[in-house]
């Protein structure tokens, strides 16, 4: 059974989803890949205001949006995806609060883990963009090698807001032209 609740944040309404024990989803309303691979289960979901992991997630989000340093490791996360996607999402959780990394750096780390010569940055980008637990699994901390604020399913404006909450100087980044 899936349990859901909403959270009103400074970047809009967030939908939180849980399997009762773990957080399995957090989406910004109208983001690209909204509900990703849980659409059918969400349609049958029950309201989960009293589910412990959802209450903990709301407390985590309260702290985050107040500018407090929080970590994905504080919550039990169980994102649904392929083994490759889960590997990328695990690496995203290691990006320190208030810092950014590039798709290229993540690709290098995966190549090293898999003991292969190289990994496609585009493959990494695809996994990052399909992150089903936005904000907490910090895909907003990934930028292009040329300091471009590319590829955030929640929208570039929200990516900038999230980086600013973490006191990251966004003036050094560029916004890609469409």
Q: Which residues pair with 64 in a beta bridge?
A: none
Cβ atoms 160, 176 nearer than 8 A: no
Q: How far is Cα 95 from Cα 28, in angstroms, rounded to an integer?
A: 21
Q: Reduced to 3 DSSP states, what percent helix, strand and coil does the chain have, rounded to the nearest 5?
A: 40, 15, 40
Pairing relationship of beta strands 23-28 and 46-47 according to DSSP bridges: unpaired
For residue 139, indicate whether it is catalytic: yes
Given 100, 139, 160, 163, which residue is catalytic? 139
Instruction: Please list the active-site residues.
Output: 139
């Amino acid at each position: 059974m899936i349990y859901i609740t909403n959270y009103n944040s400074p970047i809009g309404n967030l939908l939180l989803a849980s399997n009762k024990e773990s957080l399995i989803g957090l989406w910004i309303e109208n983001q690209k890949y909204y509900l990703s691979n849980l659409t059918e289960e969400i349609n049958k979901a029950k309201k989960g205001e009293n589910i412990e992991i959802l209450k903990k997630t709301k407390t985590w989000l309260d702290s985050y949006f107040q500018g407090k340093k929080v970590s994905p490791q504080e919550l039990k996360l169980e994102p649904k995806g392929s083994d490759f996607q889960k590997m990328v999402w695990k690496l995203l959780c290691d990006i320190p609060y208030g810092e950014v990394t590039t798709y290229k750096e993540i690709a290098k780390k995966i190549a090293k883990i898999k003991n292969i010569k190289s990994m496609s940055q585009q493959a990494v980008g695809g996994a990052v963009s399909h992150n089903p637990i936005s904000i907490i699994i910090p895909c907003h901390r990934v930028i292009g090698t040329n300091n471009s604020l590319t590829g955030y399913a929640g929208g570039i404006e929200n990516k900038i807001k999230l980086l600013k909450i973490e006191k990251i100087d966004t003036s050094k980044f560029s916004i890609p032209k469409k």
